[in-house]
Structure 1
Amino acid sequence: MQKMGQLEELDLEDNCLRGEIPTWLFDLIYLTDLKLGGNKLVEKLDHSSLFPLFQFELLQQLDLARNNFSGKLPDNIGEATLMRKLVLSGNDFSGPIPNSISKMSMLSILDLSNNRFSGNEFPSFRALYLDLSFNKFCGGLPVAFYERIVVLLLSHNEFSGVLPPNLMNLSELACLGVHDNKITGEIPAFLSHMSTLQILNLRNNSFQGPIPNNLTNLTSLQILDLSDNDFSGEVTPGLEILVE
């Protein structure tokens, strides 16, 4: 593999690769883009260990999705400071998200969905696209998001409580998915001021009370799903509720 020492991009996704990540790959220190998704690779990580891939100073995109990785993300994940896209979905990672991930100041896409991440404390993310769905997160909805985030997916967790008013600070949010949680209360008035929303999915929670008239102010809204809640009263004329 010496002839591959200068390799910058490596795409091995959607094959039938098995076993652990080969050690020769850790010698490709000039990699900027590595795709290993859609295989049957096995790697049990430890939060106290150093995972070599996160020490690649030039790595900008890493896709480990849909494999058999497990364990807790290592504390050195934040050393990949040039990372722009990190996709770890569809594995068996568990535990909290390491605080060091907040050092990834250039990160724009972070997908941790379909794992077993847990806890209710979150690092400060600067991602424009953040998918934390299908995990074991609990407690109130986190609010430590980049104010310019565009897509925020938090569905299929164990979040509870009401929608926090801090969400109104997300001035460019186009998609908010919090369905299939344990969120309660009425739909807050501040949602009607989030004019950039195009998709709002509150399905399968414990919302109650009337459907607010002011939701019709969301003129950019294309999909609104309020199904499987405890709403009551009359439906506002002109409000189109899309049920999946």
Structure 2
Amino acid sequence: MGVIAGAWQWLTTAANWAGEKGVTHRLAEHVRLSAVCLALACLIALPVALWLGHLGKGGALAVNLANIGRAVPTYAVLVLLTLSPLGRHGDWPTVLALVLFAVPPLLTNAYLGMREADRDVVEAARGMGMSGPQVLFRVEIPLAYPLIMTGLRSATVQVVATATLAALAGGGGLGRIITAGFGNYDTAQVVAGALLVAVLALAVEGALVLAERLLDPMRGGWRATRSAPARAEPIPAD
């Protein structure tokens, strides 16, 4: 039996989906861990990036400092945190490692989106008497929305894929299926676990692309403009 056929047989066996070691439970653990890490990364990176982008000061330093994290292997950070006193507190080493991994794309893309917003539009909004917060939320963020969502998609897919490493630190998630397969010398289970992670990452990517299109504030404004009835020109008096 080929590896792919063996993996398919493993995935279509109902017993492998039930119980605490089954796919359903591991998938829920994986999604929960990824969501927590991504939420924390967003709470850290987005307010900083949006505010610095609005001010136009200090952003380059913040982006460069964040990008240093990209040069540090996530697995190495995870191992060091697991061996530290923090390793006694459940999934916190994994959460911290993944948050550090997710912050750079969120921070970089959000800041660049803010700085690349059309300055003529921003200045026109200020000239209309808009306050700083109004310019930020009603002009700059909508203009920066595509790059913000690009960073969010990139960070989300990276976190979902990298959360597999949680199993190496004793955590849950789909990575446990892969490590169990290695422990049992079961190549079919290893491939099945890898396929589950890949499918989850692709599904999350597709969902975020759809959400980006549906929630795009500029697209909504464009629709409203197109759907508004044309105003009749007044007829000049004789």
Normalising to structure 1: TM-score of the pair?
Answer: 0.20
Larger RCO, structures 1/2 (Cα 8 Å, 6+ apart):
2
Structure whose residues are more often strand by fraction: 1
Higher-Rg structure is 2
Question: Higher helix proportion, which one?
Answer: 2
| TM-score, length basis structure 2 | 0.20
